[in-house]
């Protein structure tokens, strides 16, 4: 019985997994090093050693020395830096909206089962608010963001851990509220004449309806995730132009990004 409810409430988190999977299918990201983004600098690293950094969106620093740039080289360095910075709020919004989508899906299930304003949904909202707060903190303007080949350093977002945290919050809430859930299940069984098959059919039908609603709601998130992919591809193209135009950067290739829409960019 527990598996049935866990399966239903996790449709929402699976919707997030679908979105991120779709993004990976259309946007394959290979980071050949690390990137550190602070308020003043963007630094590119390999094995935790600095390759080069861009200070205040215009100065190129290699081995501690500023590289003399032409006006065209200066322009491409600035574009590269500002476009990377523009990704941060985009990525944060995709993450927070995916979390909201998961929260809505879970709330639909328990509101259907337990009625509006139930303790289970309130408990889940507390868990989700905590995760959302951590996302906001991680992407705060005054924070330095690090990521490398393994993803965001010391972070639990945009990977399997993100979905696992949502699943853990749902399962913990179910365990803490199992009494209320079982009472509601008993009431539903009474309404169905004690026929478990009728009850499970009803719940499965509701699960399918919820999945449809989540799919409709996820379309906007999917579009923005795809736009994020396009932005990443453009940044990869700018990096390639930098390597071609600035001899000091020719041996560095930190980002390799491919996608279904790459030829259109």
Beta carbons of 261 and 229 less than 8 angstroms apart: yes
Strand partners, 28: 258
Q: Which residues contact 184 (CB under 8 A, 6 or more apart)?
A: 113, 114
pTM of the model: 0.70
pLDDT for position 178: 66
pLDDT in tens, 100-132: 887 787 777 777 777 787 877 888 888 888 888
Residue 248 DSSP symbol:
G
Beta carbons of 206 and 8 less than 8 angstroms apart: yes
Instruction: Please provide the size of the chain in residues.
Output: 265
pLDDT for position 3: 37
Beta carbons of 135 and 229 less than 8 angstroms apart: no
Per-residue pLDDT tens listing for the chain (265 residues): 333 333 333 333 343 333 333 333 456 667 777 889 999 999 999 888 899 999 999 999 999 999 999 999 999 999 999 999 998 888 888 888 888 887 787 777 777 777 787 877 888 888 888 888 888 887 777 888 887 666 555 444 454 566 677 677 777 776 776 666 666 667 666 666 666 676 677 667 766 766 776 777 777 778 888 888 888 889 999 999 999 999 999 999 888 776 544 443 3
pLDDT in tens, 214-243: 777 777 778 888 888 888 889 999 999 999
Write down the H helix ranges in the chain.
2-9, 11-26, 71-114, 119-138, 160-176, 178-191, 196-245
* Distance from C-alpha of 117 to C-alpha of 129, rounded to nearest angstrom: 17
């Amino acid at each position: 019985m527990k598996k049935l409810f866990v399966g239903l409430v996790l449709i929402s988190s699976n919707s997030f997994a679908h979105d991120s999977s779709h993004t990976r299918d259309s946007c394959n990201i290979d980071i050949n090093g690390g990137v550190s983004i602070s308020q003043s600098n963007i630094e590119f690293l390999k094995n935790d050693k600095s390759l080069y950094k861009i200070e205040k969106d215009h100065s190129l620093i290699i081995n501690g020395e500023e590289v003399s740039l032409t006006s065209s080289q200066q322009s491409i360095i600035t574009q590269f830096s500002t476009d990377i910075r523009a990704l941060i709020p985009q990525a944060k919004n995709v993450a927070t909206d995916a979390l909201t989508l998961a929260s809505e899906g879970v709330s639909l299930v328990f509101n259907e089962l337990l009625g509006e304003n139930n303790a289970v949904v309130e408990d889940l909202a507390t868990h989700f608010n905590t995760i959302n707060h951590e996302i906001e903190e991680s992407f705060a303007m005054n924070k330095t963001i690090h990521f490398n080949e393994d993803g965001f350093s010391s972070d639990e977002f945009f990977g399997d851990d993100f979905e696992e945290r949502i699943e853990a919050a749902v399962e913990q809430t179910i365990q803490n509220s199992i009494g209320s859930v079982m009472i509601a299940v008993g009431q539903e069984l009474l309404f169905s004449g004690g026929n478990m098959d009728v009850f499970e059919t009803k719940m499965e039908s509701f699960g399918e309806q919820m999945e449809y609603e989540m799919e409709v709601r996820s379309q906007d998130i999917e579009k923005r995730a795809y736009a994020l992919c396009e932005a990443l591809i453009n940044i990869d193209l700018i990096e390639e132009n930098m390597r071609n135009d600035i001899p000091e950067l020719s041996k560095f290739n930190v980002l390799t990004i491919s996608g279904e829409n790459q030829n259109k960019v």
